[in-house]
């Protein structure tokens, strides 16, 4: 992802929502810049061993897919998702054997696909795969993904500091 700026102070609702989400998305790659494979998969939170940089990137990728493709676009689940009936609740984070560069590229591609999927949809569009009384609007999904991504960027920030002392939100490379 290229460097992303905050949306304009006077931007409209759609530009604000997508702009803030894109900004948080850009921090994911920034927080992982320069990590070795070993550190990208290192478990530094004893009570949450799947919360590694690699695990978080994979989790965010599948959240994008779940909310925008399965939810808003109504794409049928063809079994490509990591979740299975009776499977591990955090199966998308089981990525010890997947290189961080691949995970980041998959995340970036999913973010591009998400933006393309919603490009022409009104913010009042609701999830296609949910009953009307349980379907979230695109507006809600965007707010949720901003929150979800920002929360996990905070986790990445702490994990990165624990790994090698790198901290902050300025360009790392």
Say what the pLDDT of residue 23 is.
95
Tell me how far the alpha carbon of residue 2 is from its chain's centroid. Answer: 16
pTM for this predicted structure: 0.92
Residue 139: closest CA among 78, 45, 67, 33: 67
pLDDT digits (tens, 9 = 90+) for 3-42: 688 999 999 999 999 999 999 999 999 999 999 999 999 9
Burial class for 82, CB neighbours closer than 10 Å (0-12, 13-18, 19+): middle
Residue 49: closest CA among 153, 159, 173: 159
Q: What are phi and psi of 172, to 5 degrees?
A: -95, -25
pLDDT digits (tens, 9 = 90+) for 49-108: 999 999 999 999 999 999 999 999 999 988 788 877 777 888 898 899 999 999 999 999
Burial class for 53, CB neighbours closer than 10 Å (0-12, 13-18, 19+): buried
Q: What angle do CA 20, 24, 26 make, to 5 degrees?
A: 115
Q: What are phi and psi of 96, to 5 degrees?
A: -55, -25
Say what the pLDDT of residue 85 is.
74
């Amino acid at each position: 992802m290229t460097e992303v700026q905050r949306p304009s102070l006077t931007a409209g609702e759609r530009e604000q929502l997508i702009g803030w989400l894109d900004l948080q998305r850009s921090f994911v790659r920034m927080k992982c810049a320069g990590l070795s494979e070993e550190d990208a998969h290192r478990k530094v939170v004893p009570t949450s061993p799947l919360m590694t940089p690699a695990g978080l990137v994979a989790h965010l990728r599948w959240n994008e897919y779940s909310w925008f493709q399965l939810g808003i676009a109504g794409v049928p689940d063809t079994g490509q998702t990591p979740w299975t009936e009776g499977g591990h609740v955090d199966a998308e984070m089981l990525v010890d054997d997947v290189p961080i560069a691949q995970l980041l590229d998959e995340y970036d591609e999913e973010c591009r696909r998400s933006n393309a999927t919603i490009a022409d949809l009104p913010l009042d569009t609701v999830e296609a795969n949910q009953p009307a009384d349980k379907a979230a609007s695109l507006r809600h999904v965007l707010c949720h993904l901003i929150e979800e991504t920002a929360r996990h960027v905070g986790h990445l920030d702490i994990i990165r500091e624990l790994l090698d002392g790198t901290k902050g939100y300025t360009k790392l490379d």
